Amino acid sequence: MLFNSSVFLFVFLPVVALVTFLLARVTRSNAPAQAFLSAASLFFYGWWNPPFALLLVGSILINYTLGSLLRAASGPMRVTCLVLGMLANLGVLAYFKYWAFLCTTLGLHVPESSIFLPLAISFFTFTQITYLCDMYSGKIESNGFLDYVLFVAFFPHLIAGPIVHHRQLIPQFRGEGVFRARWENIVPGLALFILGLSKKMLIADLFAPFATDLFHQAAGNEALPLAHAWYGMIAYAFQIYFDFSGYSDMALGLALVFNLRFPMNFNSPYQAASVIDFWRRWHITLSQFLRDYLYIPLGGSRCGMPRMLTNLMITMLIGGLWHGANWTFVFWGGLHGSFLIVNHLWAHHRKRTGRAPLPRAAGVALTFVCVLIAWVFFRAETFSAGWKVLTAMFGGTLMSDTVKPFILKVPQVLMLLAGLYIVFKRPNTLQLMRDQRPCIEPVEGEMPAQGWKLTPRWAVACGVLFAVCLIRLNQPSPFIYFQF
């Protein structure tokens, strides 16, 4: 079920919110409302393909059981439970997401469409791996079954994150009156949801056709003009930015409606002045997961510079593979690993020599170009298409006898300028809503003068944005991160 669909907006969300609030109010207990919200979340997941809801339920049951055994066991039995949990989770993920990829890589035949990828399998698998690892480390005392089910399956974060940590969410379930209707949270939550919906439907989806057209031509034999390659790639950079940023805002807004807060997952990443800073701002919870459960266990930065850089590259390669079963994703991860290595070496050189850093504007521009280059292979389905786009960007021609000129029209130029202004100059939605505490962490920086407040002006603005989104509901499109 898509957030940008009529069935979600006019049936699922209002019914689930109303019943949850009524149950919490009538019973004066969190448990009935929590049970209903868990069941509704499983229904939300099964809407796309009902049998996969059984996979999610089975995964929850197995991991909760193993977590309980881990808590009660001692000695070698604890190691056995943890190993079984890792094998079960990674085995399911490997079969559904990577088996066909592995067979194809080894030259083995895989019947077409023999394996369907369940939605969000990477997200709910990683969520439960963190739980088992922390249970093994003694960081968790005990949790009720209802707490665990809702922690894993809560519909706002289930499909595309953020990857929520148990200590961030489960304690909130136990708050007094947490599932009751509170207008001080419902109103800003819905406003944040509408802002996120607008990013997706009114910005990301408008840039999408230009990126699609570029890679469609790259897959063929037609040569690409330089201007087409650059505009198409910037369009894709804006598409994935507003698509993922929009989903992150919607997830935070929906959680806030139920008086819950998620961690920040997106923080103006194109304003980063280095690739290191970019990964502190883009998909923040995935970066934290890879750091805490892969990079640090590998040794992190504790074993000297060469080992640290090796660990960094391994982490990014695996992070690339997490995004998709294709060598282009691995290459994308390797590119970012290389950028991070150069970034760390440069920072080490500056620290040793006392050299001044690059001006911030230059750092932001260089970082954006590096990220743009990497996006080429993230978007391309094949290396040949990716190389063709990259070659056109840095070695193409404006026009020739064999290359048709690419003429930017006024609407395209205005879209490009508007996108550049928003991502590089404007505060993000969490900064706009800083006073409403939209996420777990405090939002850095002062709230802009035009920040969100419960005023007629903002009510009209959100109403207009929502109305325009409704006009486009007949053109639903899935979120990019749904495929991961």
The string over 396-418, giving b where at least 16 C-beta atoms fall within 10 Å of a residue's C-beta and e elsewhere, is beeeeeebeebeeeeeeeebbee
> What DSSP string describes 324-379?
-SSHHHHHHHHHHHHHHHHHHHHHHHHHHHTPPPPPHHHHHHHHHHHHHHHHHHHH
Q: Could you give the 3-state DSSP secondary structure of residue 5?
A: coil
Q: Is 27 exposed, middle or buried (0-12, 13-18, 19+ CB in 10 A)?
A: exposed
Query: Looking at the DSSP assignment, which residues form a beta bridge with residue 282?
Result: 266
Q: Is 47 exposed, middle or buried (0-12, 13-18, 19+ CB in 10 A)?
A: middle
Catalytic-residue membership of 323: yes
CB 82 within 8 Å of CB 133 = yes
* Longest distance between any two alpha carbons in the chain, whole Å: 76
Residue 438: partners with Cβ closer than 8 Å, 6 or more residues away:
188, 192, 252, 253, 256, 261, 429, 430
Residue 258 CA from chain centroid, whole number? 21
Residue 404: partners with Cβ closer than 8 Å, 6 or more residues away:
225
* Joined tokens for residue 163: 């990857």
**CA-based end-to-end distance of the chain:** 16
CB 253 within 8 Å of CB 189 = yes
How far is Cα 474 from Cα 484, in angstroms, rounded to an integer?
25
Instruction: Determine which one of 166, 323, 336, 344 is catalytic.
Output: 323
How far is Cα 51 from Cα 35, in angstroms, rounded to an integer?
21
Closest CA to 312 of 327, 325, 302, 322: 302
* Residues carrying an active site annotation: 323
